[in-house]
Amino acid sequence: MSDAAASAPALPASPSRRLPGTLTVYRWELRKLVSQKRTYLGLFLGTVLPLIFVVVQLLIHHRHHEADNIFASQITQSGLATPVLMLLVESFFMLPLIAALVAGDIVAAEDNNGTLKTILTRSVDRGQVYAAKALAAVSYATLAVFLSTAVATAAGVAAWGFNSVRTYSGTVVSAPKGLLLVFASDAVFLIPLLTIVCIALLLSTATRNSVAGVGGAVGFTILLAILGQIPGMGSIQPYLLTDQYANWHGLLRTPTDWAPIWHSAWVCALYAVPALFAAYLTPAKISRALAAPEIGA
């Protein structure tokens, strides 16, 4: 090599070529979700159940009576009892299923379709793809929970009014405060639900199979629920993921019981953090395409 060639300055990168960031990839993922049928299937399931519940209660002319659950006894007294009851009903199966519909499929489906190579041609690295897909799955689960509660609240208030409501402690709170507590309970419930998202994402990346990703995540929660009912297993029950589904109840007490909420946070972290790292470190997590050299590297 000549001295002139050796001393020649490197050509500057073309100013017109701008590599996409993680947020840009995240927006791509959101656009994909908007165009896919499974996205609307989950949201439909989450919103139709509250409507069916309210219609059934109106048709049977539900009368006030004592019930095991304090909110069940207030169905016709305040519309704010409806979203609480629906969160109770949906939290153990329906909402985890809805969250897994996207998280358990978001990597596997694209790997099977062979479209990940198209993403790589845009000079997007593996970490960006993984982060964007995880954020999209989290966003979808969050939307499903709050949309379901919004529909349940609107239907309940339309049927029985925006009235004060009694909490688990028997304390009566005003309607505006009750509404705030309802949506705060959703935020707390997201702690275990997003843990399900992490587990479904791991199964989706590790197996590259949508059925395994969705069914495996839901099956895992069912298995834990069964495990918690086995005699002699009471000592491990507080550390089961399914036991965290009801820890949002602490917000509906006076004063607020923060202990189960903090407990849920660190227990769920024991499940979620390893699942996220394992998914990222799984050699076959997105496909052999992601192991290929990046364009322009």
In contact, 30 and 139? CB cutoff 8 Å: yes
Q: What is the 3-class SS of 182-243, one letter each residue? A: HHHHHHHHHHHHHHHHHHHHHHHHHHCCHHHHHHHHHHHHHHHHHHHHCCCCCCCHHHCHHH
The token pair at 156 is 């309940």
Could you give the 3-state DSSP secondary structure of residue 173?
A: strand
Per-residue pLDDT in tens (0 to 9) along the chain, 297 residues: 444 444 444 444 444 445 567 888 899 889 989 988 888 999 999 999 999 999 998 888 655 555 678 998 888 899 999 999 999 999 999 999 999 999 998 887 776 666 655 555 556 677 888 888 999 999 999 999 999 999 999 999 999 999 999 999 989 999 999 999 999 999 999 999 999 999 999 998 888 888 989 999 999 999 998 988 888 887 898 999 999 999 999 999 989 999 999 999 999 999 999 999 998 887 544 444 444 444 333
Contacts of residue 62, Cβ cutoff 8 Å, sequence gap at least 6: 75, 76
- Angle of helix 126-160 versus helix 37-59 axis, rounded to 10: 20
Considering only CA atoms, which of 217, 271, 205, 274 is closest in space to residue 244? 271
The token pair at 250 is 């602490």
**pLDDT reported for residue 156:** 95
The structural domains of the chain, with segments of one domain joined by +, span 20-285
**pLDDT reported for residue 162:** 96
Whether residue 260 has a cis bond before it, omega within 30° of 0: no
**pLDDT reported for residue 87:** 95
Considering only CA atoms, which of 256, 242, 237, 274 is closest in space to residue 184? 256
**pLDDT reported for residue 9:** 44
Considering only CA atoms, which of 75, 294, 297, 108 is closest in space to residue 203? 108
**pLDDT reported for residue 137:** 95
pTM for the predicted model, two decimal places: 0.85
CB atoms within 10 A of CB 30: 16
In contact, 178 and 165? CB cutoff 8 Å: yes
Contacts of residue 193, Cβ cutoff 8 Å, sequence gap at least 6: 91, 95, 96, 99, 141, 145
